[in-house]
Structure 1
Amino acid sequence: MIDNVTAVRAFTLLGINETMNYRATVFAMTLLYYSVILIVNISLVTIIIFDENLHEPMYILLASFCVNGLYGASGFYPRFLVDLLSSTQDISYEGCLLQAFVMYSFASCELSILAVMAYDRYLAICRPLHYRSLMTKRRLRHLISFSWLTPFCIFSISIILTSRLKLCESQIKRLFCINWLIVQLACADADMLANNIVSYATIIIYLLHGFFIIWTYMHLIRTCVKSKEDRVKFMQTCVPHVISLLLFLVVMLFDLMYMRFGSRDLHPSTKNFMGMVFLIIPPILNPLIYGFKLGKIRTRILGLIFLKEEIGLRLY
């Protein structure tokens, strides 16, 4: 055992000091951006909830997608805004573990929901005659529960294992807490076997998610090339899903690049951007992509805009 090691009860997040000279500007822009994320996602979820014409599996899954965006953004931005106003960026041990859980489960929920959405599109296009009997309300509830509970269970175990580690350092070289970075702070004699097993198991589970999405799209493309009607349906309902999937993959690639090269000779602002890119792009682009591409939602949004304009003209 290592002597003279004190228990770590708080962590210091590094990176915000690079914004010392323009914190007010960063705070204002971050607050504005977070507000836009809230407005766009909440608006889309509200439209889906209150419009009975949108009570279909595809739109309900989209609402779940937006809720996950709100979940992930709210796990980062409020804390980041507080840190921008503080002279020190210390976070409690428990708060750091909680944020690490939120960040990991947010990213994993994103992939799980994309996998469920791919399955829904596969049934709708490849097996249209059986769609209603296969995608029942009960099955939809089970799929949504799967997309949320699987990441929550996996990363609950991961965070519990991390909390058992004895830590010898307290500085996290990122703007927010990440489980892997906390694990790297463990003492040299720490038993990492259980953590490694869970990590590899998690990688395998989400690789299977990816292979499942590829399998569904192989069948979707094979079906759509045979029929003009199916090609139109694919362009209308699957293209937003493909864009979101590609966006997720690109963003995760950026994050892996940060993890690989974050300690190298990159400029600090570049490292910070790469470290939080998956919290910047998907929460706002995903609802915008679906809002503009899916006809029913676009019609509903335009109807609300024109209704407000008509009411305004009447009052005027």
Structure 2
Amino acid sequence: MDDEFNVTYITLVGYEELDKYRYFFVSIMFIVCILTVFFSFIIVCLIWIHKNLHEPMYIFIAALLVNSIAYCTAMYPELLMNFLSEKQIISYSACLLQCFLFYTLCASDFFLLAAMAYDRYVSICKPLQYPVIMRKSIVSIMVALSWLIPACQIAISLTMSAHMKICNLTLNAVFCNNSIYSLYCGTSKARDIFDTFALVSMALSPFIFILFTYTRILVIAYRSCKEVRRKAAQTCLPHVIVLLCFSCLCAYDIITVQLDLHSDLHPIMTLQAFLYFPLLHPVIYGLNMKEITKHLKKLFCRTKAI
């Protein structure tokens, strides 16, 4: 406790295991951060500028890319500074804020992936009703709720934790995730119940909905003509890849803390798990979606000509 400013500081001891690799991780993180922000920003601008990209699917992609930009700007600068510092500390309030941003953005990704799955389902399985179901107002509401619901639920959970007594000032992690619960002297049944509800509503439910939706798409596509099967595979495969990767990373983060499976390799695994994921969105959607790729080629060809 800092008596002068009455600020509680948390020591992140996870960096001790990574000290000899610090410059390697700094280099990788810096490159990933720059590439993610650069390509995400370009694709978002292309979607914003070109009217033929003002469709629900591309709007959801733009929202995902905004999340990637927000994730990089919120998480990576702090990680880079900690790697280059001799002592890795963070104020308790900043730790809570970092935890809030991290889980809000992660949960928002689940909701946006669920919205994209529903959009693909309507597009492939109910093409005649698509313009009526996926109106601009509905899409706007879906995007807004994908950000607001996680933010409110994570804020409630952290508010319930913020007033608990702290008995431990060291965190076996490289950033503030749900391992912050190890800081408190005891547990709260109310918070645990709410966290379980939040986990089900923000991660498990969207995950099950996405799997159910894609299963329905595959069943209907299998019964249809070759063109429908090709369209289903082309539009759904990138979403399935992102979903599986993202779900595995989130499951690892939750299980290791809940089952207390921490080890000397835990900080390394946690960092590896969330180091490369933000770059998946611009790579998967920028290179795989034909309309976006076409506009990217035009943009870079025009740049070279200039």
Provide the TM-score with structure 2 as the length reference: 0.91
Unaligned runs of 5+ in 2: 1-5
Is the counterpart of residue 285 in structure 1 residue 283 in structure 2?
Answer: no
Does the C-alpha gap of structure 1 residues 70 and 278 become closer, same or farther in structure 2, counting only changes over 3 Å?
Answer: farther
Separation in 1 of the partners of 2:287 and 2:10? 42
39-48 or 271-280: bigger deviation: 271-280
Deviation sequence 1:31-56 (CA, Å, 0-9, x none): 22211121121111111111211111
Map 1:149-188 onto structure 2 (within 5 A).
149-178=148-177, 180-188=178-186
Partners of 1:162 and 1:195 within 8 A in 2: yes
Partners of 1:16 and 1:84 within 8 A in 2: yes
Query: Shift in Å at residue 15 of structure 1?
Result: 2.0
Separation in 2 of the partners of 1:111 and 1:278? 17
Amino acid at match of 1:199: D
Deviation sequence 1:185-243 (CA, Å, 0-9, x none): 2114x5x0111111111122132212211221122112211222211211221111111
Is the counterpart of residue 301 in structure 1 residue 299 in structure 2?
Answer: no
Larger Rg: 1
Amino acid at match of 1:231: R
Amino acid at match of 1:64: A
299-308 or 97-106: bigger deviation: 299-308
Separation in 1 of the partners of 2:217 and 2:138? 21
Partners of 2:64 and 2:112 within 8 A in 1: yes
Does the C-alpha gap of structure 1 residues 26 and 243 become closer, same or farther in structure 2, counting only changes over 3 Å?
Answer: closer
Q: Secondary structure at the match of 1:91?
A: strand
Deviation sequence 1:122-155 (CA, Å, 0-9, x none): 1111110010011011000110011111110110
Separation in 2 of the partners of 1:277 and 1:87? 22
Partners of 1:255 and 1:276 within 8 A in 2: no
Q: Give the aligned partner of residue 118 of structure 2.
A: 119
Separation in 1 of the partners of 2:262 and 2:209? 34
Does the C-alpha gap of structure 1 residues 25 and 274 become closer, same or farther in structure 2, counting only changes over 3 Å?
Answer: closer
Query: Shift in Å at residue 95 of structure 1?
Result: 0.2
Separation in 2 of the partners of 1:117 and 1:303? 26
Amino acid at match of 1:249: S
Q: Give the aligned partner of residue 3 of structure 2.
A: none
Separation in 1 of the partners of 2:256 and 2:38? 29
Query: Shift in Å at residue 159 of structure 1?
Result: 0.8
Q: Secondary structure at the match of 2:183?
A: coil
Map 1:21-40 onto structure 2 (within 5 A).
21-40=20-39
Does the C-alpha gap of structure 1 residues 277 and 202 become closer, same or farther in structure 2, counting only changes over 3 Å?
Answer: farther
Alignment identity in percent? 32
Map 1:143-154 onto structure 2 (within 5 A).
143-154=142-153
117-126 or 220-229: bigger deviation: 220-229
RMSD: 1.9
Does the C-alpha gap of structure 1 residues 22 and 222 become closer, same or farther in structure 2, counting only changes over 3 Å?
Answer: closer
Query: Shift in Å at residue 282 of structure 1?
Result: 2.1
Query: Shift in Å at residue 68 of structure 1?
Result: 0.9
Does the C-alpha gap of structure 1 residues 40 and 9 become closer, same or farther in structure 2, counting only changes over 3 Å?
Answer: same
Is the counterpart of residue 232 in structure 1 residue 239 in structure 2?
Answer: no
Does the C-alpha gap of structure 1 residues 302 and 247 become closer, same or farther in structure 2, counting only changes over 3 Å?
Answer: same
Unaligned runs of 5+ in 1: 1-6, 312-316
Q: Give the aligned partner of residue 14 of structure 1.
A: 13
Map 1:248-263 onto structure 2 (within 5 A).
248-256=246-254, 258-259=256-257, 260=259, 262-263=261-262
